[in-house]
Amino acid sequence: MAILPILHFPDPRLRIKAQPVERVDDSVRKLVDDMLETMYEAPGIGLAAPQVNVSKRVIVIDISDDKSSPLCLINPEIIRRDGIEEMEEGCLSVPSIFEKVERARQVTVRFLDRDGKSVETAADELLAVCIQHEIDHLEGKLFVDYLSELKRQRIRKKLDKIRRRTM
Q: Is 37 a catalytic residue?
A: no
7 binds another protein (CB under 8 A): yes
Residue 57 in contact with residue 20, Cβ under 8 Å?
yes
15 binds another protein (CB under 8 A): yes
114 binds another protein (CB under 8 A): no
154 binds another protein (CB under 8 A): no
152 binds another protein (CB under 8 A): no
5 binds another protein (CB under 8 A): no
- How does DSSP classify residue 137? H
CA–CA separation, 114 vs 75, rounded Å?
11
Residue placing its CB nearer to another protein in the complex, 16 or 119: 16
- Minimal distance, residue 134 CB to another protein, in Å: 19
The one segment of 12-20, 21-29, 36-44, 75-83 that binds another protein by CB under 8 A:
12-20
Q: Residue 124 to residues 110, 111, 141: CA-CA distances in angstroms?
A: 14, 16, 21
CA–CA separation, 66 vs 54, rounded Å?
27
Binds another protein by CB under 8 A, chosen from 33, 42, 53, 124 = 53
12 binds another protein (CB under 8 A): yes
- Minimal distance, residue 11 CB to another protein, in Å: 5
Q: Please, where are the H alpha helices in 6-148? A: 26-41, 125-138
Task: Spot the catalytic one: 37, 41, 88, 134.
Answer: 134
55 binds another protein (CB under 8 A): yes
Cis peptide before 43 (omega within 30 of 0): yes
> Residue 50, Cβ neighbours under 10 Å: how many?
26
